[in-house]
């Protein structure tokens, strides 16, 4: 576990080492103070010697100031190290998540990933702070204070020694109950974050269906659940403080009582008692701290595990064995006996036995009912998912043999549910090509019939898009997404139902412009409207995850019932 997390500390190693050193120096100063107190009382106050009082007093004050200085330094080093550690850890997790495939993200759920990034890293950070500060402070102080008490009076020291197993035993017993309760908390956190994420992501839908109250109820349940679990877990911990107070009083009474007897017998000095009472606080405090260190480390173990799960997750789509020099030469696409399901343990295939071939520069259409598997087919081409069986070739070579970056650079895809990011229109378009010139950008936008409406905005290409692109219309967004994909100058361009929010005339204009602009690019168009694919070199009809027919519009009109049915249902003027 430590091996996994250690790389994130590396940069702050110096601070992480200096902090405990300062802690030990601080403890050394503190531990001598009650001892000096003994001398001050016995040799100074009891003897009524002002000079001795001043001497020891000065030493005590100097020690206190030194302790304060070291304490401040160690606190500062710890804060820098632990905040830096947390930041590095989050960054490493984020980098890892960027390599996740869709399937990896599906497995964790976004809510759970958010909890891991925030709450869990917080717990791990806390454990780290405890480790560099308290884990050094408490044992050193505990040992030194017992040694000092032995020095003052061995018999009284036995009271302290006896209390160690008592305190420890009860804390370990309590931890046994508390730790599992804390582990359960994280599921509740995930649940809460999932709710918030889903709700905010779909706030428009919530509003249009007037489901605010229902959603608030759902949220309240999740929040109550979390609260109850937290109260249950914390309930036992609140007893720790009062229990510790009682123990302090008991030991103080014992020390004063035993000490009193010893003073009367002349076996101990008044200063000895004063010093011992000074050590009671230090001793019990460090005893409690040692125990708390263990409980805390146990508790954050659950968080550390959840963080490491993210770091250890193996992306289901990898290219470590791919040939870095292999380039996508042309845009042919071949599906050979492809079967696919989203989850390995799912019963039925989503796609089965798909075979077809597209030559470079051809245009093919894919039609079929909703849920028939059209999007699933095209997502396999840039390896957003991997096939379960069979193989897909791009440019005559299996897609798994290319580096993922190379493959995805060659395949432009306008997803069915596409998103824009917060930033200017130009920044969004540059996702397609960071180095595109202004002319290239405008040209792509003209092809996608986006230039005119962009120029209609007061700030043109510099107009701001809000998060998730909510301030442009559905059709405008689709056209920006097409322009963005065109800027990649891909060898294969896939449009997954990308113009359904655009009117038929504009759609036709976009289609014609794309064909002219990217002659040579293989075009794969998924469409609801037959009109969108009527001129394609080949149209594939998908039904229930299988190919029902392949051919030109003319051929399919003769041979394919499903195609004919879709066509005739659209004759009511949709063309
Ligand atoms: N991420 C996913 N995990 C599990 N199952 C999925 C996932 N995405 C889609 N499916 C399922 O796979 C099947 C095919 O879905 P797909 O999205 O390919 O259909 P489609 O033909 O594109 O439909 P539409 O026309 O509505 O876009 C559906 O039964 C769907 O429920
Ligand atoms: Mg789809």
Q: Whose CA is nearest to atom 29 of ligand 1?
A: 371
Sorting pLDDT into bands at 50, 70 and 90, what band is 508?
confident
Q: Which residues surround ligand 2, an ion (CB under 5 A)?
A: 375, 416
pLDDT of residue 60: 93
Q: Is the CB of 416 under 6 A from ligand 1?
A: yes
- Report how far Cα 572 is from the mean position of its chain's Cα atoms: 50
Q: How far is the CA of 492 from the centre of ligand 1 (A)?
A: 22
Q: Supply the pLDDT for residue 69.
A: 95
Please, which contacts does 262-265 make with residues 24 or more away whose CB atoms are closer than 8 Å? 262/153, 262/155, 262/156
Residue with CA at minimum distance from ligand 1 atom 17: 375
Q: Which tens digits make up the pLDDT trace of 489-506?
A: 899 999 998 888 888 888
With cut-offs at 50, 70 and 90, classify the pLDDT of residue 133: confident
User: Would you say residue 427 has pLDDT above 70?
Assistant: yes
Q: Is the pLDDT of residue 452 over 80?
A: yes
The pLDDT value given to residue 201: 76
**Within 13 Å, how many C-alpha atoms sit on residue 228's CB side?**
8
What residues have CB less than 8 Å from 113, skipping those under 6 apart?
Answer: 97, 105, 310
pLDDT at 575 over 70: no
Distance 375 CA to ligand 2 centre (A): 4
Does residue 346 have its Cβ closer than 6 Å to ligand 1? no
372 lines ligand 1 (CB under 6 A): yes
- pLDDT value at 314 more than 80: yes
- Which residues have a Cβ under 8 Å from the Cβ of 148 and sit 6 or more positions away? 31, 34, 35, 275, 279
Mean pLDDT of 279-297: 82
222-244 pLDDT, tens digit each = 999 999 988 887 887 787 778 87
What is the atom index within ligand 1 of the atom nearest the CA of 542? 21
Q: Is 500 in the pocket of ligand 1 (CB under 6 A)?
A: no
Per-residue confidence (pLDDT) for residue 503, from 0 to 100: 83
Average pLDDT for 157-166: 83
Q: Residue 318 has what pLDDT? A: 85
What's the pLDDT score for residue 572? Answer: 56
Ligand 1 near 373 CB (within 6 A): yes
- Residue 99 Cα to ligand 2 midpoint, Å, equals 24
Q: Residue 182's pLDDT is what? A: 77
Residues in the chain: 575
- The DSSP secondary structure of 230-265, one letter per residue, reads HHHHHHHHTTHHHHHHHHHHHHHHHHHHHHHHHHHT
- Per-residue pLDDT band at 38 (split at 50, 70, 90): confident
Mean pLDDT score of the chain, rounded to an integer? 88
Q: Angle at the Cα of 527 (from 349 to 447), degrees rounded to 5?
A: 130
Domains and CATH numbers, the chain: 2-183+239-312 (1.20.1560.10), 333-569 (3.40.50.300)
The confidence band for 391, taking pLDDT boundaries of 50, 70 and 90, is very high
Instruction: Give yes or no for residue 22 having a pLDDT over 90.
Output: yes
Please tell me if the CB atom of residue 374 comes closer than 6 angstroms to any atom of ligand 1: yes
Over 90: is that where the pLDDT of 351 sits? yes
Q: How far, in Å, CA of 12 to CA of 83, rounded?
A: 10
């Amino acid at each position: 576990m430590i091996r996994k997390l250690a790389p994130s500390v590396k940069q702050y190693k110096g601070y992480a080492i200096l902090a405990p050193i300062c802690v030990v120096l601080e403890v050394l100063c503190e531990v001598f103070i009650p001892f000096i107190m003994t001398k001050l009382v016995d040799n100074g106050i009891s003897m009524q010697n002002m000079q001795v009082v001043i001497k020891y007093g000065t030493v005590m004050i100097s020690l206190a100031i030194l302790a304060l200085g070291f304490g401040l330094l160690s606190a500062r080093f710890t804060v820098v190290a632990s905040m830096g550690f947390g930041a590095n850890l989050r960054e490493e997790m984020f980098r890892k998540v960027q390599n996740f495939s869709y399937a990896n993200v599906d497995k964790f759920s976004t809510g759970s990933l958010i909890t891991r990034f925030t709450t869990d890293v917080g717990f791990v950070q806390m454990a780290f702070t405890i480790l560099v500060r308290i884990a050094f402070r408490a044992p050193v102080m505990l040992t030194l204070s017992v040694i000092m008490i032995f020095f003052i009076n061995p018999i009284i020291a036995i009271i302290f020694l006896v209390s160690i197993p008592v305190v420890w035993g009860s804390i370990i017993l309590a931890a046994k109950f508390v730790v599992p309760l804390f582990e359960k908390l994280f599921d509740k956190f995930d649940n809460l974050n999932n709710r918030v994420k889903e709700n905010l992501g779909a706030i428009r839908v919530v509003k249009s269906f007037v489901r605010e109250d229902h959603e608030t109820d759902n949220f309240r349940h999740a929040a109550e659940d979390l609260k109850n679990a937290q109260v249950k877990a914390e309930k036992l911990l609140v007893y720790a403080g009062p229990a510790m107070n009682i123990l302090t009083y008991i030991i103080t009474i014992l020390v004063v009582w035993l000490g009193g007897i010893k003073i009367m017998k002349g076996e101990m000095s008044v200063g000895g008692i004063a010093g011992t009472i000074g050590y009671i606080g230090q001793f019990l405090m460090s005893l409690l701290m040692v125990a708390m260190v263990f409980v805390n480390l146990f508790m954050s173990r659950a968080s550390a595990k959840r963080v490491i799960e993210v770091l250890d997750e193996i992306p289901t789509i990898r290219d470590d064995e791919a040939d870095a020099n292999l380039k996508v030469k042309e845009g042919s696409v071949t599906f050979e006996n492809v079967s696919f399901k989203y989850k390995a343990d799912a019963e039925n295939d989503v796609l089965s036995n798909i075979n077809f071939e597209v030559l470079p520069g051809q245009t093919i259409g894919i039609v079929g009912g909703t849920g028939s598997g059209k999007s699933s087919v095209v997502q396999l081409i840039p390896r957003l998912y991997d096939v379960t069986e069979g193989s897909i070739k791009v440019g005559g070579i299996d897609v798994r043999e290319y580096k993922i970056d190379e493959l995805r650079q060659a395949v432009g895809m306008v997803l069915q549910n596409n998103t824009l990011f917060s930033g200017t229109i130009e920044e969004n378009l540059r996702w397609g090509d960071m180095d595109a010139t202004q002319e290239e950008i405008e040209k792509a936008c003209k092809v996608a019939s986006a230039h005119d409406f962009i120029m209609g905005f007061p700030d043109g290409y510099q107009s701001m898009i809000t998060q998730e692109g909510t301030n442009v219309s559905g059709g405008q967004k689709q056209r920006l997404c097409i322009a963005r994909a065109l800027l990649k100058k891909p060898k294969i361009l896939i449009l997954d139902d990308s113009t359904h929010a655009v009117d038929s005339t504009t759609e036709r204009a976009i289609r014609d412009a794309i064909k002219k602009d990217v002659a040579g690019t293989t075009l794969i168009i998924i469409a609801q409207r037959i009109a969108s694919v009527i001129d394609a070199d080949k149209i594939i009809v998908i039904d229930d995850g299988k190919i029902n027919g392949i051919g030109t519009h003319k051929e399919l009109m003769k041979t394919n019932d499903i195609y004919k049915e879709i066509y005739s249902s659209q004759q009511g003027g949709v063309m």
